[in-house]
Amino acid sequence: MRSFFKTAIVLCAICAVAAVVLALVNKVTFPEIQKYEESVVLGALEEVSAGYKIGLKADVSDNEYVSYYYDLKEDGNIKGYLLGLKTKGYGGDMTLVASYDIKGVLLSAKLVSDSETPGLGKKAENPAYMNKYIGRGSEESPIPVSKNMLSSADSAAVSGASMTFNGISRALAAGSDYVKGVK
């Protein structure tokens, strides 16, 4: 019985020390992490704004992919929309920001956060990945949502990371449809 208590106390003490140390490290690093996360989203919004002025934010709660949007303005006129998108890849949730003109044609897009496999799905963070979507979204040239809507070179480049491609494509296509509906 005594050894039973001793075992429990030792295990409990080790866990307690670990918890205190982790709490202290978290206290120091958490503000830095938060600052970094905010700067990533702000930087991404600025990057995909396509040179337009970013207007007010509107939250969206009734769409599977769209979380919020901003108006994109030039000389006071709405020229397009900047959307915050959420979707799923191979490694879980991914978030994107994408700008569209008022007809729903994609101007620019960026993958903001993901947990994709390094060397495979992570390649979607590369700005060149979005080139296959940019300029598409109209009736004649919809956003590609399957590999056979891509050129053979683009199709080969996404092989091995189809889940990432599917997630991003669906979100961007849903964003384009949403913009067409907002008008």
79 binds other proteins (CB under 8 A): no
Distance (Å, whole) CA 160 – CA 141: 25
- Each residue 154-173 as x (binds other proteins by CB under 8 A) or -, in order, gives --x--xx-------------
Block residue for tokens 């496999």? 117
33 binds other proteins (CB under 8 A): yes
CB atoms under 10 Å from CB of 173, counted, come to: 20
21 binds other proteins (CB under 8 A): yes
26 binds other proteins (CB under 8 A): yes
Q: How far is CA 114 from CA 52, 110, 123, in A?
A: 26, 11, 11
Distance (Å, whole) CA 174 – CA 106: 11
Q: Which is nearer to other proteins, 67 or 117 (CB)?
A: 117
Residues that bind other proteins (CB under 8 A): 3, 6-7, 10-11, 14-15, 18, 21-22, 25-26, 28-30, 32-33, 36, 91, 115-120, 122, 125, 156, 159-160
